[in-house]
Amino acid sequence: MVKLSREFFTSESVTEGHPDKVADQVSDAVLDAMLEHDKYARVACETLVTTGLVLVAGEISTRCYVDIPHVVRNTLREIGYTRAKYGFDCETCSVLTAIDEQSQDIAAGVNASLETRSSGKTGELEIGAGDQGMMFGYACDETPEFMPLPISLAHRITRKLAEARKSGEIPYLRPDGKAQVTVEYMDGWPCRVDTVVVSTQHSSEVSSETIRKDIIEKIIRAAVPEQYLAPDTKYFVNPSGRFVVGGPHGDSGVTGRKIIVDTYGGMARHGGGAFSGKDPTKVDRSASYAARHVAKNIVAAGLAKKCELQVSYAIGVAQPVSLFIDTFGTGVVSDSELTELIKSTVDMRPGAIIKRFDLLRPIYTQVASYGHFGRSDLDLPWERLDLADTFKREIRKSAEK
């Protein structure tokens, strides 16, 4: 009798009111405000939030004027920090800015890539990468959105928390919260949810018993498909016992501290670069989107059950330094064949990525919470399955030679 392998994997998501996510949303709201008026703005914006204070810092070069304090307060209002009793108030908090221009040394390498300076060619496709580094994209066939199940379920729970708070379905909820989901895998396939942890900020009047009952019945069971919940699934709701003080009042938040929440929940590797607050000349953002697009279309084309792609760049150079694909033994052709396929069919230069996805527009605040990938609620260009047929056709042609 063959014994099935049994493994457990855990991923986390946080709500839009989590202090680190507040910082991400402010940074991307500033970026969007810049791009709305100047699509060629160069933005590298970092935000710190703490008790009664928002500090926006970074390097920004633009021809437009943006009222940053106004953008910050509107973002906090949308999240739900509208009353001092929540520990943070969009109307009364201090907003400080510390903005400089983008370094001329960086700008020179981005505006004209090494290849351009060597050949004399010019054009929107000839910009150089905004920094060195490596980026990863990932996809798998565990869910309809080609995402790992643990992070997909964690996002569903945190989004349901926000919906229940904003609709008034659970009126005592406050903006801060997080969810953690542990999924049991049998022979590499997700079969059940083993453990769910939910911590949510709440008003001081409500009892722990009420919170537990409501979170299990109205949040977890509403967000997680019944097929994954078993009689022995474990639930931990506010396991510390009390979560009244939350948000920036309870913990400081900084842009870029939830990069695993933003991506694949730890199921895939990560190059370390955050997305939020960066315009798309920064390959931390644009190349990660392109890598996800490629990986997702490889899996959608039936060429692998899961796929991870790494791409790396040198600052000021347009062409990637390297491209690496790993299908973890699930590919119908070799990983080296898939690598050559991508090199011959997909232009991974930053300028080409920006043009292909139309990235010089204000689309970023909407993905600053609940993940940048697998978003079936949004029409994101890097989530489209517009390369799958091309990949299948090219693989067939290669096999016929």
What b/e string do you get for 326-354 counting C-beta neighbours within 10 Å, with b at 16 or more? bbeeebeeebebbbbbbeeebebbbbbbb
DSSP string of 321-388, one letter each residue: SEEEEE-TT--SS-HHHHHHHHHHH---SHHHHHHHHT-SSS--GGGSSS-SSS-TTS--GGG---SH
Nearest residue to 385 via CA among 252, 294, 322, 284: 294
12 has which bridge partners? Answer: 180
Angle at 135 between CA 322 and CA 373, to 5 degrees: 135
Element (H, E) at 153: helix 149-167
pLDDT of 86? 81
pLDDT of 124? 63
pLDDT of 322? 97
pLDDT of 119? 56
Q: How far is residue 106's CA from residue 116's CA, in Å, rounded to a whole number?
A: 15
Q: Please state the φ and ψ torsions of residue 5, each to the nearest 5 degrees.
A: -75, 140
Which region, left, alpha or beta, applies to residue 109 given φ > 0 means left and ψ of -120 to 50 means alpha? alpha
Here the tokens at position 41 are 């703005």
pLDDT in tens, the chain (401 residues): 566 789 999 999 999 999 999 999 999 999 999 999 999 999 999 999 999 999 999 999 989 999 999 999 999 999 999 988 888 999 999 999 999 987 665 555 555 555 565 555 655 667 888 889 999 999 999 999 999 999 999 999 999 999 999 999 999 999 999 999 999 999 999 999 999 999 999 999 999 999 999 999 999 999 999 999 999 999 999 999 999 999 999 999 999 999 999 999 999 999 999 999 999 999 999 999 999 999 999 999 999 999 999 999 999 899 999 999 999 999 999 999 999 999 999 999 999 999 999 999 999 999 999 999 999 999 999 999 999 999 999 999 888 76
pLDDT of 111? 58
DSSP string of 20-49, one letter each residue: HHHHHHHHHHHHHHHHHH-TT-EEEEEEEE
DSSP string of 267-301, one letter each residue: SS---S---TTB-TTSHHHHHHHHHHHHHHHHHHT
Nearest residue to 45 via CA among 65, 25, 70, 63: 25
Here the tokens at position 31 are 């970026």
When computed from its CA atoms, the radius of gyration of the chain, rounded to whole angstroms, is: 22
The pTM score is 0.94
pLDDT of 50? 97
pLDDT of 300? 98
Element (H, E) at 233: strand 229-237
Do strands 88-89 and 42-50 pair parallel, antiparallel, or not at all (unpaired)?
A: unpaired
Angle at 293 between CA 163 and CA 325, to 5 degrees: 125
Here the tokens at position 276 are 């939020």
Q: How far is residue 363's CA from residue 32's CA, in Å, rounded to a whole number?
A: 7
Tally the residues of the chain. Answer: 401
Burial grade of 115 (CB within 10 A; 0-12, 13-18, 19 or more): middle
Residue 328 and residue 320 in contact, taking contact as beta carbons nearer than 8 Å: no
Query: In this structure, how many other beta carbons lie within 10 angstroms of the beta carbon of residue 234?
Result: 11
pLDDT of 389? 96
Residue 189 and residue 93 in contact, taking contact as beta carbons nearer than 8 Å: no
pLDDT of 87? 83
Nearest residue to 291 via CA among 351, 230, 345, 342: 342
